[in-house]
Chains A and B, each alone.
Chain A
């Protein structure tokens, strides 16, 4: 029998029809899709024993407590720590996927000099030479750490400047510093005892302060309640995530926060709703109404509503003397549920001044927000874990990423109590990275190591015999038998919390109402993002959650 071309086609048609009724196409489709998840360039978690370690988040200066799940010594999951007294298990959505950030395509993997690949040796030699040629300025984004001490020591030895890029939360506390003489670094908000919080654009539910702290507070005292125990009044020009969840959203014109604060103070004083004796704003109510876009009656009603549930605390999104003066009028300085002084030993932050303009060399620590771009002629050495683009730095130096560096955890800017903790290094970097402290240590070997400073800080805590260490159970420091035992607890992820803030030690001498600052567009990391550096899963979380919104997506 002769096999014809037609037979082959008919046979093929029969085979094709038959295949549809076999598992071949469906199984192949399934297997190939699974196979595509395991391509060699896709990082896979190591297989090995599962363990959990407690540490602290390093994504922002606020340092929420983390419970990290490790498989074979490699982090595969992140959760909050219930025993952490500040956050009590709450985290911002970004932290939940943060262990993937080290694999992000925008991770800075090599030293770069003006866009070209360079070596650590070249960077070191150039930096050392530049330091010998003129003044150096070292810029820190998270002061108070062991690393900060090393940066400050280096600048001091080279007769240079140690400067701090303040977070907007800290800048919002600067007016109280100038009026009370107490450094902003030792001031905080007693949020837990506040009855009403009037937020002038501060993104309280959008990554502000210690994100886990306010999220937990909000969940317990406000979320889903018609008459919440904690009233949040959000004064903002756009319907932000915080505005959407607030008890009241007051829509005002952009840049009119100071005018509204003055208007509210006018009403409070006129109607004798607050004790007399505070500063009186010169702005009349009609002008405040004109500037904010609200009616005079609305401002009057808002002032009365604020006081319905005391204590009342006003929070500005950035440095705003008008909002700070409103707190003085409200009596929220040094009082329960207001602005408190948590420590008498804090240092004043050195503001930016001419020192940075005279500098021959500027070193920027990786803790400084990416959008901080000094407009100066100096040679700039910038440490960063991720390259978000548009950098004006001469040198980009790869820094340790998430959980890749040992650091201590000083008190976050908004905290009402002092804290101390140690975030241990849980991940061995897959690329050649150095922190700014390591880099400077390799140039000046007489600088102390972070480990040594952390050890000394633990010893200081032990000898003070004050405060409580929170691990699974709270243990007073006085009950620890030795420095070693206290240090061991802290290295395991425990947190030391100091004694509650003293309420009587803070007074603001303010005779006249401060002149309104010229409204400037917000330039802080909490509200302005060039491009979020997020891994795919975190990007999904970012979009589906209330993590942080890009300003251009806001609904006015």
Chain B
């Protein structure tokens, strides 16, 4: 093998290593949620088995998103147990009357309009179809913030190549388009970018 081939191959290998290993680590910064919330614990101990019990639809059909602290305060107006997470929730947010600044994995840019109501009530999708089995997880995931775009890694998906992804991994426009194409539901530009 010639010297040139070796040097070229070395450059190629360094770039591949940097692109597939170092780049993702440098691009995303891991952040902890303000409170270590456990979906599974709440489901088992409080009987909250349906996502909509906290992530509710309002009377007008609009999705209310994350519950406000008033909902949490229904049980946690004062400490019930000894967990540090609950102490943080009660002392730092509920008692001072501040909303918990949750880091939302699925937050989209402001120019995206998405109706949970249409997708769940008309199309019959479940929460897990897009958000995965997160509602059954026993610990809250680290939030991976994209240093450039400012959005969560969940938008691009956890596979850097976006190949061979698990269902529900990725929330980019092409993911919406793929799903709509599979289900033969046509939506124009103004369907989402109103």
- A residues neighboring B (CB under 8 Å): 6-7, 10-19, 21-24, 27-28, 30-32, 34-35, 37-38, 44-45, 49-50, 52, 76-77, 96
Q: Return A34 CB to nearest CB of chain B, in Å.
A: 4
The contact of A50 among B15, B23, B65, by CB within 8 Å, is: B65
Q: Return A131 CB to nearest CB of chain B, in Å.
A: 46
CB of A23 within 8 A of CB of B23, answer yes
- Complex contacts, A31 vs chain B, CB 8 Å: 27, 146, 148-149
CB of A12 within 8 A of CB of B19, answer no
Most A Cβ at <10 Å: residue of B12, B23, B27, B113: B12
Which residues of B123-178 are within 8 A (CB) of A? 146, 148-151, 156, 160-162
Q: Return B177 CB to nearest CB of chain A, in Å.
A: 15
The contact of B110 among A10, A14, A45, by CB within 8 Å, is: A45
The contact of A35 among B62, B110, B150, B194, by CB within 8 Å, is: B150
CB of A10 within 8 A of CB of B7, answer yes
Which residue of chain A lies nearest to B19 when distances are taken between CB atoms in the complex?
A: A22
CB of A49 within 8 A of CB of B68, answer yes
CB of B185 closer than 8 Å to a CB of A: no
CB of B149 within 8 A of CB of A15, answer no
CB of B16 within 8 A of CB of A34, answer no
CB of A18 within 8 A of CB of B148, answer no
CB of B149 within 8 A of CB of A35, answer yes
> Known contacts A10-B4, A14-B11, A27-B27; is A22 also within 8 Å of B156 by CB?
no
Size class of the B contact interface (CB-based, 8 Å): 35 or more
The contact of B12 among A6, A17, A35, A96, by CB within 8 Å, is: A17
CA separation between A52 and B58, bound complex, in Å?
Answer: 11
CA separation between A52 and B7, bound complex, in Å?
Answer: 64
CA separation between A13 and B8, bound complex, in Å?
Answer: 7
The contact of A10 among B11, B14, B15, B68, by CB within 8 Å, is: B11
CA separation between A27 and B146, bound complex, in Å?
Answer: 11
The contact of B148 among A12, A28, A45, by CB within 8 Å, is: A28
CA separation between A10 and B2, bound complex, in Å?
Answer: 12
The contact of A38 among B13, B62, B150, by CB within 8 Å, is: B150
CB of B148 within 8 A of CB of A32, answer yes
CA separation between A45 and B113, bound complex, in Å?
Answer: 12
Q: Return B194 CB to nearest CB of chain A, in Å.
A: 6
- Complex contacts, B29 vs chain A, CB 8 Å: none
CB of B64 within 8 A of CB of A18, answer no
CB of A11 within 8 A of CB of B7, answer yes
Which residue of chain B lies nearest to A20 when distances are taken between CB atoms in the complex?
A: B15
The contact of B23 among A12, A24, A45, A96, by CB within 8 Å, is: A24
Q: Return B23 CB to nearest CB of chain A, in Å.
A: 5
CB of A23 within 8 A of CB of B7, answer no
Known: A13-B11, A23-B20, A37-B110. 17 other contacts (CB 8 A): A10-B4, A10-B11, A13-B8, A14-B15, A18-B14, A18-B15, A19-B15, A22-B20, A24-B19, A27-B27, A27-B156, A31-B149, A37-B109, A38-B149, A38-B150, A50-B64, A50-B65
